[in-house]
Structure formats: structure tokens, C-alpha cells
């Protein structure tokens, strides 16, 4: 029986009776319950604090509120399963992938398609108000399988026309680093490099945190197990990986993220919701590749031999795996760079700016949220109510956790 059974949740004691008294009775995408509650602008669901928000999808209820493992900087998420009457996960806390929002005064939440919940922070700055919690997206399902535990993933909504991240792969010595450096030098405000983690030793000119985060195998393995990585692979005998945070940092700076990763990593990214452009760089010949590797002078003879042995398989996979939409041949460097810019839509004649600046619209502290097809309507409530409604168009969003959900467009609609 439920009565009298207490449990600990976000450092507060709640009763299951009050929990079920307030749970909605709908499943799937319909979000009428939450909309109804949001109409009041203050959601009291029996979980203790007004600021908690509960969202039900199928048999599961997701409680968004409090803090994550007592950390005041991270908003908490807990999952309850109706069929078993149990809170899921260790201490009812799922593994949370990606950096979530900081706790605030209250949240509006609405269920979207594909196992996503739109979470709007009440009264937050315009660049920090729209978040997505993925609870059953393809990425989350995959991670749940990989990590063997309950997983949810956060992704912040980024406004404006932020472009797709770019994944560049190719054998060692083909010129990936050279091309990326040229791009970042010519367009510093447009591109940002995703700094990978690696267990290989630094080369003499490489700086920790700039070229790579140089790390220890046991530390990196633990972080992989904790779900900190978007992808990872063993390459030429060392571990390499892209942390979710490294992609978030670049996107948050308003820049287009470039990932220099191997084919295995590219395959993992392709299976995620990052929604990137995939480019494979080929050498003009194996002889030229060997010459470049030797001329670079950064590897021992043994390492060069290993890299050359791996190169043939990488080139074969790069050309035939169906991962890469674009194959570039790096024979003449200037020509290859020009082709790279062309396929990224950077035209020599047209000046290129960074991501288009988007005028901020601050969302009202007290509001109601309703959903109609791809449109989310946010209407201010309370004494200072203005009649203008803010509309969030979901049809233009792309990407998602891990990383960021791009293409958030907010419009103010004047009431007639
Ligand atoms: N999967 C994966 N591969 C990476 C990552 N970072 C670098 N790599 C790849 O690891 C390989 C070796 O990189 P590195 O040791 O810097 O040597 P280089 O290829 O000769 O520049 C290259 O194919 C890189 O693209 C990463 O985060 N993930
Ligand atoms: N098109 C090219 N022609 C001749 N040398 C090149 C060309 N592209 C790059 N290189 C040189 O080849 C070496 C390997 O390039 P690098 O960018 O380090 O490769 P990667 O990052 O793919 O391992 C560097 O010394 C670089 O200056």
C-alpha cells in the first residue's frame, strides 16, 4: 500500500500519496495536464516545492526540480515508474548526460515528440531560458544500452541560425590539422575547435587544453563510464574521445564546432543527434602520406609504421562506409582549402560573419505554455500582463543532446 510510505527526494521527504494525487492520467505526447497547470503559472504537484515540475510519458513520471545530487549548480531530474511504483535508478537519480540548466525559480515543461521534454526556465535570461530534456530519444536509448543504466540527456536551445558542427576525418598526416588551422585563422569568429581528450603523450608544441586534454587512461575510462563522452575510440594504440562538454563550450560561444576525429568516432557521432556535416580527407597517394608524416617529424619510426598500416583501412572505411557526405583530396593545399570552404558554403567573394546575432527576447516570469502542432505559445500572466504572446517555432530546430539544440526561433505576436 502507498499510504504512509515515505521516500527521500532531492533532500526533501515526500509522500507517495501526495505524488499520485497529483499525477496526470494521460500518456504520450498530449500535454494538456501540464498546460493546465502552467495556466496558473505556479505548479503544485505535491512534491514539496512549487518550482518542481512533473511530466508524464507513458508509465514514467519525470520530476524536474531541486538540485542534482545536492549540487546547487545543476537542476535535478528523477524518474518514477507507475507500473512498479518505484523510483528508478540509484538514489532515484538517473545518469545525466550533458550540462543541464542551473536551478531557478520555476519551470514550464511540455512533452514533445521523440522522447523529448521542452523545459522553459521562468524569468531567465534570454539565452538561458529554453532547454530540452531527452528521456527516450534515439541517443538516450543507445546510451542506456551502452552504459547499462538509466540515462537522460540535457541540451540547451540555441537561438538563431547556428550551423551544423563539422566532423573531419582522415588518416594521420593527410593534413586535417593544417586545414582546420587555416579555417580557424581565417574565420576566428565563425569556427571553434572541439578539444578532444587523449591518453597519448603531448608533442613538443602541443598545449594541454588547446590541442588536446591530455589525460590518464584510468581517469578517461571512468569518465567514459560516467557518460561524459559523446564518442571515443582506440586509435593507433591510444584512447581518444570527444567530451559532451567540449562540443557544448564551442556552441555556447556562438561558433560552429569542428571535430577532428577518426572514422570510428565519426560513426558514433553519425548515430547521435548531433546532426553534423561529415568530411573525409584523402591523401593523393600512400607515398605522399608517408612523406608528410616523416617531414612532420613528430612520430617515432615505429609510430609512423603503425599509422601507415592503419591508414589503408581508414581510407577504405572513409570512402565506403556511407558516413561521409564529402571526400576531399589534399594534394595541393591551397586548392583543397578552397574546396573545403566551398563545401561549407564559404564563398571567397562574400564576406563571412559569425553566427547571426539574434535579438534576445526575455521570457516572462509568470506564463502559460500551450502547444499547437510545431508551435509553442508562451503567454505572460499575472498583474503586469502584456497581451503580446511569444511563439517558439519547433519546426526549425535541429541537433539535440548531446551538445545543443540549434535553430530556436522566438517571435513576438502582437495581439490585435
Ligand atoms: N574518435 C576520436 N578520434 C580522435 C579524437 N581526437 C583525435 N582523433 C583522431 O585520432 C587520430 C590520431 O590523432 P593524433 O594523435 O593527433 O595524430 P594525427 O592524426 O597524426 O594528427 C586522428 O585520426 C584523429 O582524427 C577524438 O576525440 N575521438
Ligand atoms: N597539401 C599538402 N601538401 C604538402 N604538405 C602538406 C599538405 N597538407 C598538409 N601538409 C603537411 O603534412 C603534415 C601533416 O599534416 P597535419 O595537418 O599535421 O595532418 P593530420 O592532422 O591529418 O595528421 C604537416 O607537416 C603539414 O604541414
For residue 285, the CA-to-ligand 1 centroid distance in Å is 20
Each residue's pLDDT tens digit, 49-81:
556 889 999 999 999 988 887 778 889 899 999
User: ipTM greater than 0.95, yes or no?
Assistant: yes
Which of 26-35, 54-63, 205-214, 361-370 is predicted least confidently? Answer: 26-35
Classify the phi-psi angles of 227: left when phi > 0, otherwise alpha if psi is within -120 to 50, otherwise beta. left
Does the active-site annotation cover 307? yes
CA nearest to 176, candidates 345, 333, 335: 333
Strand ranges inside 102-150, DSSP E: 107-111, 116-121, 130-134
Catalytic residue among 12, 203, 294, 309: 203
For residue 261, the CA-to-ligand 1 centroid distance in Å is 5
Does the active-site annotation cover 17? no
- Which whole-number Å values give the CA distances from 254 to 125, 361, 363, 409, in the listed order? 16, 17, 20, 15
Q: How many CB atoms lie within 10 A of CB 25?
A: 6
CB 292 near ligand 1, within 6 Å: no
Q: Which of 172, 272, 295 to mutate to test the pocket of ligand 1 (most atoms within 8 A of CB)?
A: 172
Q: What is the mean pLDDT of the chain?
A: 82
Which of 184-188, 210-214, 305-309, 349-353 is predicted least confidently? Answer: 349-353
CA nearest to 199, candidates 241, 168, 139: 241
For residue 174, the CA-to-ligand 1 centroid distance in Å is 12
Q: How far apart are CA 43 and CA 106, in angstroms?
A: 8
**Which contiguous run of DSSP H or E holds residue 317?**
helix 301-320
> What is the mean pLDDT of the segment spanning 22-35?
28
When mean pLDDT is compared over 48-52, 201-205, 350-354, the highest value belongs to: 201-205
pLDDT value for 409: 85
**Which contiguous run of DSSP H or E holds residue 180?**
helix 176-186
Of ligand 2's atoms, which has the minimum distance to the CA of residue 172? 23
Encode 200-221: b = buried (16+ Cβ within 10 Å), e = exposed.
Answer: beeeeeeeeeebbbebeeeebe
For residue 178, the CA-to-ligand 2 centroid distance in Å is 6
Q: Which of 167, 172, 175 to mutate to test the pocket of ligand 2 (most atoms within 8 A of CB)?
A: 175
pLDDT value for 386: 62
Of ligand 2's atoms, which has the minimum distance to the CA of residue 180? 17
**Residue of the CA atom closest to atom 8 of ligand 1:** 261
Catalytic residue among 17, 141, 200, 296: 296
- Spell out the domains of the chain, with CATH numbers in brackets: 6-159 (no CATH), 166-343 (3.40.50.300)
Does the active-site annotation cover 296? yes
Instruction: State whether the Cα torsion 282-311-302-235 is positive or negative.
Output: positive
pLDDT value for 22: 32
Question: Which residue is listed with cell 586548392?
Answer: 335
- Give the residues surrounding ligand 2 with Cβ less than 6 Å away: 170, 172-178, 292, 295-296, 330, 333, 336
The set of cell numbers assigned to 167 is 566532423
Each residue's pLDDT tens digit, 355-402:
444 566 777 878 888 999 889 998 888 766 566 788 998 888 888 887
When mean pLDDT is compared over 45-54, 272-281, 339-348, the highest value belongs to: 272-281
Q: Are 196 and 242 in contact (CB under 8 A)?
A: yes
Which of 81-95, 123-137, 271-285, 315-329 is predicted least confidently? Answer: 81-95
Query: Does 48 score more than 50 pLDDT?
Result: no
Residue 30: pLDDT band by 50, 70, 90 thresholds? very low
Specify the length of the chain in residues: 416
Query: Does 347 score more than 90 pLDDT?
Result: no
CA nearest to 161, candidates 346, 408, 374: 408
Catalytic residue among 307, 309, 404, 406: 307
Amino acid at each position: 500500500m502507498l499510504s504512509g510510505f515515505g521516500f527521500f527526494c532531492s533532500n526533501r521527504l515526500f509522500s507517495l500519496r501526495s505524488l499520485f494525487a497529483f499525477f496526470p492520467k494521460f500518456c504520450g505526447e498530449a500535454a494538456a495536464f501540464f498546460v493546465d497547470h502552467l495556466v496558473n503559472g505556479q505548479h503544485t504537484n505535491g512534491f514539496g516545492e512549487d518550482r518542481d515540475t512533473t511530466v508524464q510519458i507513458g508509465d514514467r513520471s519525470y520530476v524536474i526540480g531541486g538540485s542534482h545530487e545536492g549540487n546547487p549548480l545543476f537542476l535535478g531530474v528523477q524518474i518514477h515508474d507507475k507500473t512498479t511504483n518505484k523510483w528508478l535508478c540509484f538514489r532515484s537519480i538517473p545518469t545525466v548526460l550533458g550540462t543541464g540548466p542551473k536551478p531557478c525559480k520555476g519551470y514550464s515543461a511540455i512533452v514533445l515528440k521523440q522522447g523529448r521534454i521542452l523545459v522553459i526556465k521562468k524569468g531567465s535570461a534570454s539565452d538561458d531560458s529554453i532547454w530540452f530534456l531527452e528521456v527516450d530519444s534515439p541517443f538516450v536509448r543507445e546510451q542506456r544500452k551502452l552504459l547499462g543504466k538509466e540515462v537522460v540527456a540535457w541540451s540547451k536551445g540555441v537561438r538563431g541560425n547556428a550551423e551544423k558542427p563539422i566532423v573531419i576525418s582522415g588518416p594521420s598526416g593527410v593534413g586535417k590539422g593544417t586545414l582546420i588551422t587555416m579555417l580557424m585563422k581565417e574565420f576566428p569568429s565563425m569556427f571553434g575547435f572541439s578539444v578532444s581528450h587523449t591518453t597519448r603523450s603531448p608533442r613538443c608544441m602541443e598545449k594541454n587544453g588547446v590541442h588536446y586534454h591530455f589525460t590518464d587512461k584510468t581517469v578517461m575510462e571512468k569518465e567514459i563510464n560516467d557518460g561524459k563522452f559523446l564518442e571515443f575510440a582506440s586509435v593507433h594504440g591510444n584512447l581518444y574521445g570527444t567530451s559532451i562538454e567540449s562540443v557544448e563550450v564551442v556552441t555556447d560561444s556562438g561558433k560552429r564546432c569542428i571535430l577532428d576525429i577518426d572514422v570510428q568516432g565519426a560513426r558514433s557521432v553519425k548515430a547521435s543527434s548531433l546532426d553534423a556535416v561529415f568530411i573525409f580527407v584523402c591523401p593523393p597517394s600512400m607515398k605522399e602520406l608517408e612523406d608528410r608524416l616523416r617531414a612532420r617529424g613528430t612520430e617515432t619510426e615505429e609510430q609512423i609504421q603503425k599509422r601507415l598500416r592503419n591508414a589503408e583501412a581508414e581510407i577504405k572505411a572513409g570512402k565506403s562506409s556511407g558516413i561521409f557526405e564529402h571526400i576531399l583530396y589534399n594534394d595541393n593545399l591551397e586548392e583543397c582549402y578552397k574546396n573545403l570552404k566551398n563545401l561549407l558554403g564559404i564563398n571567397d567573394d562574400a564576406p563571412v560573419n559569425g553566427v547571426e546575432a539574434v535579438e534576445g527576447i526575455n521570457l516572462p516570469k509568470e506564463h502559460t505554455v500551450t502547444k499547437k502542432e510545431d508551435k509553442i505559445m508562451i503567454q505572460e500572466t499575472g498583474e503586469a500582463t502584456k497581451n503580446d504572446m511569444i511563439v517558439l517555432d519547433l519546426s526549425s530546430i535541429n541537433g539535440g543532446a548531446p551538445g545543443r539544440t540549434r535553430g530556436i526561433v522566438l517571435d513576438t505576436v502582437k495581439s490585435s
